[in-house]
Amino acid sequence: MGRILAIDYGRKRIGLAVTDEQKIIATALGTVPAQEVIEYLTGYLSDHEVECFVVGEPKEMTNIPSQAEKYIGPFLNLLRKTFPGKPIERFDERFTSRIALQTIRDSGIRKKKRQNKALIDSISATLILQAWLESKSMKKYK
């Protein structure tokens, strides 16, 4: 069985998370500089079976795509070209950065480490993936 890999796209850093093989829980993989993500994913996919990518979809409160979407489009095209036939699903990522920051605060991590944006991106990718898993689980039981 393959894993599901989530991507929280950012122009500087990309947060990554992956499921276990049973697709029960999401775990952070960390962050990768944006210009190195395709190389990283190529290496990861050569060592692990990945069934599909889940890419965060930034939206405004009015449910329209945010300005960041214009940067994600070219990345999605590159992802499709590099990994043809690998499904890509989009998932609403509203509030993930805020929830990630609150999670970090609640965990008792010191202020200096809380300001680490890479940590926030990594946790955001994990939140996106876990929410995606839960949405699939809910659909299965309806």
What CATH number is associated with residue 110? 3.30.420.140
- Residue 98 in tokens: 């805020």
**Containing structural domain, residue 81:** 3-137
The pLDDT value recorded for residue 124 is 85
Is residue 142 domain-resident?
Answer: no
Residue (of 32, 139, 78, 67) closest to 18 by Cα position: 32
How many CA atoms lie within 13 Å of 113's alpha carbon, on the beta-carbon side? 8
Instruction: In whole angstroms, give the CA distance from residue 17 to residue 22.
Output: 15
Domain count of the chain? 1
The pLDDT value recorded for residue 12 is 93
Is residue 128 domain-resident?
Answer: yes
Residue (of 54, 7, 55, 11) closest to 35 by Cα position: 11
The pLDDT value recorded for residue 102 is 63
The pLDDT value recorded for residue 106 is 63
* Residue 78 dihedral angles phi and psi, to the nearest 5°: -65, -40
The pLDDT value recorded for residue 93 is 75
Percent of the residues in the chain that have a pLDDT greater than 70, as a whole number: 77
Q: Which residue positions in the chain have pLDDT lower than 50? A: 141-142
Is residue 10 domain-resident?
Answer: yes
The pLDDT value recorded for residue 119 is 75
Asked whether the beta carbons of 113 and 4 are under 8 A apart, the reply is no
The pLDDT value recorded for residue 98 is 62
Considering the entire predicted model, what is its pTM? 0.83
Instruction: In whole angstroms, give the CA distance from residue 59 to residue 112.
Output: 29
The pLDDT value recorded for residue 141 is 47
